[in-house]
Amino acid sequence: MPKQMNTSFGHAQSKKTYHTKNHVEKNDTLIYALGGLGEVGKNMYCFEHENEICIVDCGVLFPGDDLLGVDYVIPDYHHLIRMNKKRKFLVITHGHEDHIGGIPFLLRQVNIDAIYAPRFAKALIQKKLAEHKGLERTKIIEINDESSIKTKYFTVGFFNTIHSIPDSLGVLITTPNGTIVETGDFKFDLTPVGTNADYQKMAYIGVLKPDLLMSDSTNSGVEDFSISEKKVANEILEIMRKTSQRLIVATFASNVHRVSQILEAAVKCGRKVIVFGRSMENVVDIGRKMGTIKIKNADFLSPEELAHTPDDKVCIICTGSQGEPLAALSRISNGTHRYIHLKPGDTIVFSSNPIPGNAASVNKVIDKLFRSGATVLTKSILNNLHTTGHASKEEQKLMLQLICPRYFMPVHGEYKMLMQHRQTAIEVGVPKENIFVCANGDILILRNHEVLQSDWRFQGDDIYVDGNDISGLSTAVLKDRRILADNGLVAVVIAIDSKSNKILSRPVIVSRGFVFIKDSQGLIREAEFIVHQSLQEKMKEKTTFSELKNCVRSTLEPFLYKKTHRNPIVIPVIINSRQTMEEIQQKRIQKKAQRKEA
């Protein structure tokens, strides 16, 4: 197993015993990911040479159901923090959250000289940083396909790609040891909405024979070419024309081109539009300011006007296509939305596919919509209501053929996706030994146009964020949350007098989420008795509060598991006061008296 690298590569070089071909040397260029490998999200790719680090993207990963109470998952920035004396600059390929969402957390811990971002991404980043006090003055420099960033060791150029958001760029990085292409998220669409991919520039890069290609792997398992965005737009327009009642369209807020097409289709069909969902409202607002969404103020409805507008003149576009509990569509399906109440005859269009893991939530929302009498349309073999923003297998082959790299590293995908992309690269002629399927933290060495995998690695763990707390939650906290969710807790209140080393009364057990107290009085009394016996035995000799708590846990946990086959969290609470315990006892007597009277 590779060793954890906890020193800078300059120091590691000093140990002569490690001089092997795969050992990092002083003039090497290091390539490593802190996020984006083995997962779809939190993309962050770093290129390090001497005292400079070029970072491409800084995203978040949205947590699954198993990460209770976690808002975001971000990369571990430990290595970048240790390298704070080195000059660092951040390059953004496009404005999706899995590429820009981690920026506020990074800026609070790591010194970044400047952020270079395309036009739409820059607007989204500025809005995001405005919500974080002290970060709104961060230097953000706008870039496009003709931009060039030159530092002491790096020259960074760009080329246009097609994705589901405007101003998406691929990156060409020239270092003292060779050149690297990082595609960002891309697809090939021969009839695109917005800017076309720069095939000529990609082909020219291929003529220059770059050393390493790092390419998007998300749809490695999808055969053939993806559907054009214009086909989806035509399908939605046709549905708008045929629908005589109110129309509600749910899609990803981040899919700006799709949102624009839906709004334009509604206006063509004589419908007024209204937008619900905070992220959707933000994107529409920024899209209109950028000129990407060309809808006039007169074409929008206010919430108050919605109730007085004929149903066949209304198009509602909203968030919630993934069944998110608090999103607009979920509140509509539950009947809890402030402005929209479903009517029989409403048509709801899902212009999206469920993200893996979200199918159950989406199906639950669809079922509720059907129960309300609505017609629900989802993507199927009968329609083209959605297309992906990521390259399928054939499109990945085209990128490999255009760039013609000597070495290949699949990125942005789960392990299965990375391996499928590896097989695709082999099919188009990249030698097996020149392909590197890495994990977060693994280091590739670029040395004189040759790529090697280092025998060292950096820390590449996940950091769990609750709210805006950038310190991150420990795995112990998450473990406790899972136990609380599955088994509940049991609190044991113990009153002692440390001066006389005596227990003042029998322990009191309180349960939450473990057993129903009224139906388990016998179990609770027995548990209180055995804890009391164990504590009396323990307190025959001099002891400490810590030892008393351990005594309670070691006695109660096996007993409860034996009786219930469940492992609740046991929390001992020791009260070292005779007066406090007398008050508690008095309250217990009063409660018993009240129950008898009732």
Which positions are annotated as active-site residues? 216, 390
Nearby residues of 412 by Cβ (< 8 Å), 6 or more positions away: 36, 40, 43, 185, 216, 217, 218
Residue 66 marked in a binding site: no
Strands 168-175 and 178-182: antiparallel
User: Is the distance from CB of 321 to CB of 252 less than 8 angstroms?
Assistant: yes
Residue 389 marked in a binding site: yes
Name the β-bridge partners of 377. 349
Which of 357, 360, 349 is CA-nearest to residue 383?
349
Residue 388 marked in a binding site: yes
Cα–Cα distance, 577 to 588 (Å, whole number):
17
Residue 387 marked in a binding site: yes
Residue 69 marked in a binding site: yes
Amino acid at 542: K
Residue 170 marked in a binding site: no
Amino acid at 477: V
Cα–Cα distance, 512 to 522 (Å, whole number):
17
Which of 348, 350, 354, 339 is CA-nearest to residue 309?
339
Tokens coding 34: 């802190």
Residue 372 marked in a binding site: no
Classify 38 as helix, strand or coil: coil
Nearby residues of 356 by Cβ (< 8 Å), 6 or more positions away: none
Residue 346 marked in a binding site: no
Residue 221 marked in a binding site: no
Between the CA of residue 537 and those of 490, 575, 581, what are the distances in Å?
Answer: 22, 18, 21
DSSP string spanning 491-533? EEEEEEETTTTEE-S--EEEEESSS-GGGGHHHHHHHHHHHHH
* Alpha carbon 539 to chain centroid, angstroms: 51
Residue 287 marked in a binding site: no
Residue 598 marked in a binding site: no
Residue 163 marked in a binding site: yes
User: Is the distance from CB of 360 to CB of 322 less than 8 angstroms?
Assistant: no
Which of 251, 282, 202 is CA-nearest to residue 388?
251
Which of 450, 449, 448, 447 is CA-nearest to residue 24?
447
Nearby residues of 168 by Cβ (< 8 Å), 6 or more positions away: 93, 94, 118, 160, 161, 162, 184, 185, 186
Classify 420 as helix, strand or coil: helix
Residue 19 marked in a binding site: no
Residue 546 marked in a binding site: no
Helices (runs of H) and strands (runs of E) counted in the chain: 18, 26
Residue 461 marked in a binding site: no
Residue 412 marked in a binding site: yes
Q: Which helix (H) or strand (E) holds 383?
A: none
Residue 167 marked in a binding site: no
The beta-strand segments (E) located in 513-592 are 569-575
Residue 65 marked in a binding site: no
Binding residues for Zn(2+): 94, 96, 98-99, 163, 185, 412
Binding residues for substrate: 253-255, 386-390
Binding residues: 69, 71, 94, 96, 98-99, 163, 185, 253-255, 386-390, 412, 466
Binding residues for Ca(2+): 69, 71, 466
